[in-house]
Amino acid sequence: MLLQAMKAATLRNVTGPKRFFSSSARFMDAAHKVVVVGGGSAGLSVSHQLLKSGKFAQDEIAIVEPSPYHHYQPGWTLVGAGLKSREELRRNEKSLVDSKIQLYEDAVTSLAPEQNQVVIGSGEKISYDHLIVASGYVITLDGISGLREALQDEKSNVTSIYTYETVDKVFPKIDQLKEGHAIFTQPGSPIKCAGAPQKIMWLALDYWAKQGLYKKHDPSSPIKIDFATGLPVMFGVPTYSQVLNKLREERGVGGLFQHNLVAIEDQGKTAVFARPDGEKVRKTFDFMHVTPTMAPPEFLKKSTIANEAGFANVDNETLRHVKYQNVWSLGDSSSLPTSKTAAAITAQAPVLVSNLLASLDGREPTAKYDGYTSCPLLTEYGKVLLAEFKYEGTLKETFSKFGINQSKPQRAFYYLKKDFFPWIYYNNMVKGTWAGPKGFFSGIRSFSTSARQMRNTPVRHPRDPLDKNAHATRFPLMSGETFISRTPPSQASSRMSVEASDILFESTNETVNADVATMAPQLRQRHRQARGASKILDEKEIMEVQQLRQKDPYTYTSGVLAKQFGCSPTFISIVAPAPKEVRQARLAETELKKATWGMNKRISRAQRQERRALW
Ligand code: FAD
Ligand code: UQ1
């Protein structure tokens, strides 16, 4: 028994403190304060956020994860579009788990919530005080008859971004299609990232259109495209659905609504769709991108933790199990009635952590999840519509308060999707330091559900640079605030010695005007640079500037053009102002940067703003 258990245990640290051997050397079950089932987006985020609370010792948290690799699945759409490789989005699972967390490289085979235990593949039982179910979705390739065979057949034109095994075949197949009927499917049943089935379609359409292979509303177009969905709409949220349906109509894509793909026949050449009334519709195709059906894993479905649909049955707000008080769930395998995405997990994890910690302290869970989820919908190469909403499909947009229309595909969001999210995911999200639209947090000391509820977060006072400045003079105001004035570096301060003032206002060989002479050395240099760069452009040059700006306003910024033409950036923005869209995109980028500011930066920026207002 001992030998068998030891052999089977593929633990990274077999002699971890929570594994016990009695004096008779009989193998005892392992036990942990928290056991997390699944080391995917949800499992890793929540485990590391718990660890960062500082309330857990070595190996008190354990993750059970059978896969040696972790995948950044949201990037698979980009792989399908030929923008990234599937390998660059994958990491070794072990490398993502903190050494203070015990990793069981095995699968959970059954749950025993009455005994506070899970059973893993080796037969070993692991006891817990709290259990977190984060085991994701299983792709059920057999949910559509003939799909498994068609995907395995190298010669078939059936493909999918939804599995690691097939995702790298998507772009070559898109590239190979020169004419014929292309179909993109979406099942009627729930799936992860409900926007992905059409994202890959919009990108393929763009790719074919750029080569002249797809011509909208043109009967002579070599390629024709249909979007076949089991749902009655393009997207679950009406605001976005309307925009996307308009896009579909404008781009000449056929809409086969309430057409649920049930079979692939005729050696991967005919698709069979079921209509709500049971009617079967057959369509031949030359290319088909299939979104398979998905389901919770078997061990969960058959447990008493699951609801009728097989998902871990938790409260929509607290994320605690409706029956077992020490069982929690988040992510794709939870019953949470929202669109399943990694973005949703950024909002779920802090709630779960806060409530689980409260529960460990004997308090009631009070943090609430509002159903936040998001889907960055690629509508073409270079544009993304950033759908963000909560329960009931109510919009909860991060950037609309800054005047950005999120229903309109924007370039700034494209860079978010393509570059920023993959980066932040591996650098912060799986390490437990990314709270999605709320930016970074370095520890879960307390919890706040919105930027406006900062009062929930511990108050910290980062050092204000003026607080201890020897050259600052303080004026207490009637309002109770203090007005602090510091002599600018360009002025001789009353405390400045004669020698220092000589160094500051050193004379140069150049003829400088009196104003410049009184400037601090750094300012003087900038002033000279600006003056040197104040060449007046002739009409031809201005036209050239305008043309470059029009051609690519993102590359040819006023700074770049000023350098190129030897004039000032202000002059460039007067003669060739950036288009409104570009300004909006830049604003979005700035706002995004702000969204990622940490607490210290937010406070010091607010203090700076207050000082400016007082001036
Ligand atoms: P997963 O990340 O799938 O992790 C589940 C883990 O549980 C896996 O590691 C698995 O091996 C493990 N597991 C399974 N069975 C067991 C068992 N028996 N015992 C122990 N462990 C087990 N989200 C976005 O936010 N934005 C997007 O743009 C986006 N696009 C997407 C595009 C595609 C093509 C896909 C496939 C997904 C996309 N998503 C997107 C969705 C996002 O990837 C998922 O919602 C998210 O990864 C879910 O996290 P999870 O931890 O619940 O599940
Ligand atoms: C997000 O935080 C995230 O994780 C890194 C994604 O990638 C999977 C997303 O797609 C989205 C939309 C978010 C949400 C964050 C913001 C700033 C909207």
The 10s digit of each residue's pLDDT in 399-431 is 988 888 999 999 889 999 998 999 999 999 999
Among the listed residues 375, 385, 444, 592, the single catalytic one is: 375
* From 64, 192, 240, mutation site for ligand 1 pocket: most ligand atoms within 8 A of C-beta: 192
Distance (Å) of CA 426 to CA 40, 95, 356, 429: 12, 11, 24, 6
Question: What atom of ligand 2 comes closest to residue 346's alpha carbon?
Answer: 2
Question: What atom of ligand 2 comes closest to residue 386's alpha carbon?
Answer: 12
**CA atoms of 505 and 66, how far apart (whole Å):** 69
CA of 316 to the centre of ligand 1 (A): 19
Q: CB under 8 Å to 561, separation ≥6 — which residues?
A: 545, 548, 549, 569, 572, 576
Domain range summary for the chain, segments of one domain joined by +: 15-137+297-369, 140-294, 458-525, 539-614
pLDDT at 491: 64
CATH superfamily for 15-137+297-369 is FAD/NAD(P)-binding domain (3.50.50.60)
**CA atoms of 336 and 316, how far apart (whole Å):** 5
**Which residues in the chain land under pLDDT 70?**
1-28, 442-468, 478-481, 487-534, 584, 595-596, 598-599, 615
Considering every ligand atom shown, identify the ligand nearest to the alpha carbon of residue 591 and give its number: 2
Q: Was domain 140-294 assigned CATH 3.40.50.300?
A: no
CA of 496 to the centre of ligand 1 (A): 62
User: Contact, 149 vs 155, CB < 8 A?
Assistant: no
pLDDT at 468: 66
Phi first, then psi, for residue 109 (nearest 5°) are -105, -30
Helices (H), 97-253: 147-152, 164-176, 196-210, 238-250
**CA atoms of 612 and 593, how far apart (whole Å):** 21
Phi first, then psi, for residue 128 (nearest 5°) are -145, 160
Is-same-fold flag (15-137+297-369; 140-294)?
Answer: yes
Report which protein residue has its CA nearest ligand 1's atom 11: 67
Q: Hey, what amino acid is at 534?
A: S
User: Contact, 308 vs 288, CB < 8 A?
Assistant: no
Torsion of CA 561, 564, 568, 573, to 10 degrees: -10
Torsion of CA 400, 402, 405, 411, to 10 degrees: -120
CA of 420 to the centre of ligand 2 (A): 9
Rg of the chain over all Cα atoms, to the nearest angstrom: 30
CA of 34 to the centre of ligand 2 (A): 26
pTM attached to this predicted model? 0.77
pLDDT at 28: 62
pLDDT at 535: 75
Question: What atom of ligand 1 comes closest to residue 332's alpha carbon?
Answer: 52
Closest CA to 172 of 196, 137, 138, 207: 207
Residue 390 is given by DSSP the state -
Closest CA to 108 of 412, 258, 409, 312: 312
Q: Is 567 a catalytic residue?
A: no
Beta strands 472-476 and 482-486, pairing class: antiparallel
Structure tokens at 553: 């306003």
342 lines ligand 2 (CB under 6 A): yes
* From 240, 345, 374, 406, mutation site for ligand 2 pocket: most ligand atoms within 8 A of C-beta: 374
pLDDT at 486: 73
CA of 202 to the centre of ligand 1 (A): 23
Structure tokens at 252: 């000449």
Structure tokens at 262: 């049930």
Report which protein residue has its CA nearest ligand 2's atom 13: 343
CA of 249 to the centre of ligand 2 (A): 28
Considering every ligand atom shown, identify the ligand nearest to the alpha carbon of residue 424 and give its number: 2
Question: What atom of ligand 2 comes closest to residue 421's alpha carbon?
Answer: 5
**CA atoms of 350 and 346, how far apart (whole Å):** 7
Among the listed residues 193, 225, 306, 345, the single catalytic one is: 193
pLDDT at 448: 35
* From 73, 192, 341, 346, mutation site for ligand 2 pocket: most ligand atoms within 8 A of C-beta: 346
146 lines ligand 2 (CB under 6 A): no
H or E stretch including 484?
strand 482-486
Beta strands 180-186 and 108-112, pairing class: unpaired
pLDDT at 508: 47
| 3-class secondary structure, 158 | strand
User: Contact, 518 vs 556, CB < 8 A?
Assistant: no
Look-up: residue for tokens 């709320």? 438
pLDDT at 456: 37
